[in-house]
Amino acid sequence: MRIITLNLNGIRSACNKGFLEWFGQQDADILCVQELKAQAADMTPDMLAPFGYHGYFHYAEKKGYSGVGIYCKRKPDKVILGLGIPEFDVEGRYIEAQFGNLSVVSLYLPSGSSGEERQAVKFKFLEAFMPHMKKLFASGRDIVVCGDWNIAHTEKDLKNWKGNRKNSGFLPEERAWLTELFNEVGFIDVFRKLHPELEAYTWWSNRGQAWAKDVGWRLDYQVATPSIAEKAVSTGIYKEQRFSDHAPMMVDYRA
């Protein structure tokens, strides 16, 4: 089972850069996408259901903003849009597809990099989201939460960690939240499980020569319950083409 996650930074922009053609070559069972920056009216038939995939989307109410989606080969038994928390659901940040005992989530966690107001929203989201993650874990289902978490967990997860200790995405409180999720709740960072020491990134700033110099951050994760994480056999970050300021991150799981 191949699961891919990618922050598109705008589905229309990504499609213009060859995203759909690439997707068609991946033989993915599930592709989770974030930051659609589109409403239902903006979506073409190819965006909605490429190559016979089933597409499901949670759009933000604000135009050109946020939004998440899931493409899957097999039709889900159930699709859940949002967390049931109105102030976050209007931003289109959570969609869950259920297949038997497996739940796959596409998540776009808020960024706090634009200023104190959005950082406060991010902390509020984290506070509300932890109980939801605990509930998912306690359900006994196989869970894979894919997405742009907007947090680099450890010093191995961003190139310039020394210079970013006071910046959103690498704040002590954010990192501690992920540590709690992994060490106390019991979720597993699948990439880090397979590559304990590898320094590899999924996002690069458009400023300077960040991409050329590989001065990046690992912000995109597949976070899984132990039952499914132990079935992960390989993972990779695709960098041959660029569809976005993020790179696709894929994991192959044993059936």
Q: State the pairing for strand pair 216-217/203-204.
A: antiparallel
CA 167 to chain centre: 20
Query: What value does the CA radius of gyration of the chain take, rounded to a whole number of Å?
Result: 17
DSSP code for 112:
-
Locate the DSSP E strands across the chain.
Answer: 2-7, 30-34, 54-58, 68-72, 78-81, 94-99, 102-108, 142-148, 188-189, 203-204, 216-217, 220-224, 232-237, 249-253
148, 157, 189, 220: the active-site residue: 148
245 is catalytic: no
Task: Give the Cα separation of 54 and 70 in Å (integer).
Answer: 8
Residues marked active site are found at 148
